[in-house]
Amino acid sequence: MVSPRAPLSKLTAGLLFVSFLIYLVIINRLEVGQSGRVADPASFSSRMLMNLPSSGSGDSNNLHDTISNSGVITAIDNMVNQIGVAGSDLTETRVKDISNEIAKQIADYVVQRLGKAATISNPCSSCWKHGNATDLPVIYLVTPTYRRPEQIPDLTRLAQTLLNVPAVHWIVVEDNSALSPAIASLLKRYGIPHTHLKAQMPEKYKKSKLKPRGVANRNAALDWVRSNCKSGVVYFADDDNTYDIRLFEEMRFTKKVSMWPVGLVTKVGLSSPVVNDKGVVVDFFDGWMANRKFPVDMAGFAVSVQLILEKSDVYMPYVPGHEEDGFLKKLDVSPADIEPKANRCTQIFVWHTQTKSNTPANRTTATGKRYKGTNIDTLQEWIV
Q: Walk across the sheet containing 194-198 and list its strands.
A: 194-198, 168-174, 139-145, 233-236, 301-304, 257-259, 338-340
* pLDDT tens-place values along the chain, 384 residues long: 444 444 445 555 555 566 666 655 555 544 444 444 444 444 444 444 444 443 344 444 444 444 455 656 666 666 666 665 555 556 666 666 677 777 766 766 665 555 543 333 343 333 344 444 668 999 999 999 999 999 999 999 999 999 999 999 999 999 999 999 999 999 999 999 999 999 999 999 998 889 999 999 999 999 999 999 999 999 999 999 999 999 999 999 999 999 999 999 999 999 999 999 999 999 999 999 999 999 999 999 999 999 999 999 999 999 999 999 999 999 999 989 999 999 999 999 999 998 888 888 888 888 888 888 888 777 777 777
Q: SS3 of 208, please?
A: coil
Active site residues: 324
Whether 305 contacts 321, CB under 8 Å: no
Q: What is the value of pTM for the model shown?
A: 0.65
Q: Which neighbouring-strand residues pair with 339? A: 258
CB atoms < 10 A from the CB of 332, how many?
Answer: 12
Runs of H (alpha helix) within the chain: 6-29, 60-68, 70-86, 92-115, 151-162, 181-190, 203-206, 215-228, 246-251, 305-310, 323-330, 342-345, 375-379
From 48, 47, 41, 42, select the one nearest 25 (Cα to Cα): 48
Number of residues that this document lists for the chain: 384
Could you tell me the end-to-end alpha-carbon distance of the chain, in angstroms, rounded to an integer? 57
